[in-house]
Chain A
Amino acid sequence: AQSVAQPEDQVNVAEGNPLTVKCTYSVSGNPYLFWYVQYPNRGLQFLLKYITGDNLVKGSYGFEAEFNKSQTSFHLKKPSALVSDSALYFCAVRDINSGNTPLVFGKGTRLSVIA
């Protein structure tokens, strides 16, 4: 079975500081990994994904994430946080052996960037 853990319900960071939102995963095979952001009263917006290749992937709005197979992690990062980054962030996984299946989501981490 696939699963995702986001150990932090809430992350607070000052504007201009680097931010990290943590994610670990569990799959039987190799993973496809995704990050989404949800602003208030909106649907989910795709930020970035890891499929294969370079462990550091870059996505929308200056976000990046690093795939670490030994630690089964896929933490989301940004060098300098903006107040407008405040939102709910979801990590998701799909096992590459599972075909066209839905994503399994973590519980979400609420990011608050303080001016």
Chain B
Amino acid sequence: SAVISQKPSRDICQRGTSLTIQCQVDSQVTMMFWYRQQPGQSLTLIATANQGSEATYESGFVIDKFPISRPNLTFSTLTVSNMSPEDSSIYLCSVGTSSTGELFFGEGSRLTVL
């Protein structure tokens, strides 16, 4: 299994500001994804973080709003830009090592935008 550390674990942010979430994994992983979990909802995939290249975004998510970096096989960041109250969610980093394997999740970053 992989141990994933996400920072911050929670934050309260002002409208219009940006926040960067970090995801650090204790081993090299092939796959790294960012999910969003809005209050009382399921997980929605934001993007696949690609090592050394631009992330692959799902429909409804754009790079200007959610820029992602993945400089190596153990680290990624997700920035939530120009935040509004609708961005209040839990943001989850997820990693995997093979197509047959499960994904491992960080504890999540709970953002509240006022």
Q: Which residues of A contact B (CB under 8 A)?
A: 32, 34, 36, 41-46, 49, 51, 90, 94, 96, 98-108
CA of A41 to CA of B108, assembled, Å: 9
Q: Which of A44, A100, A108 contacts B99 (CB under 8 A)? A: A100
Q: Which of A42, A51, A100 contacts B31 (CB under 8 A)? A: A100
Bitwise interface map of B from 78 to 105 toward A, beta carbon under 8 Å scored 1, else 0: 0000000000000010101011111111
Q: Take A100-B30, A100-B31 as given contacts and tell me if A105 and B42 are in contact as well, using a CB distance cutoff of 8 Å.
A: yes
Q: Take A44-B92, A100-B31 as given contacts and tell me if A107 and B99 are in contact as well, using a CB distance cutoff of 8 Å.
A: no
Q: Is the CB of A49 within 8 A of B42?
A: no
Q: Is the CB of B98 within 8 A of A100?
A: yes
CA of A43 to CA of B25, assembled, Å: 15
Q: Is the CB of A43 within 8 A of B108?
A: yes
Residues of B within 8 A of A103 (CB): 103
* A-B Cβ contacts below 8 A, count: 54
CA of A38 to CA of B30, assembled, Å: 24
Q: Take A100-B30, A102-B48, A107-B42 as given contacts and tell me if A43 and B105 are in contact as well, using a CB distance cutoff of 8 Å.
A: yes
Q: How far is the CB of B4 from chain A (nearest CB, A)?
A: 8
Q: Is the CB of A96 within 8 A of B99?
A: yes
Residues of B within 8 A of A100 (CB): 30-31, 96, 98-99
Q: Take A44-B92, A100-B99 as given contacts and tell me if A105 and B43 are in contact as well, using a CB distance cutoff of 8 Å.
A: yes
Residues of A within 8 A of B4 (CB): 43
Bitwise interface map of B from 12 to 37 toward A, beta carbon under 8 Å scored 1, else 0: 00000000000000000011010100
Q: How far is the CB of A37 from chain B (nearest CB, A)?
A: 11
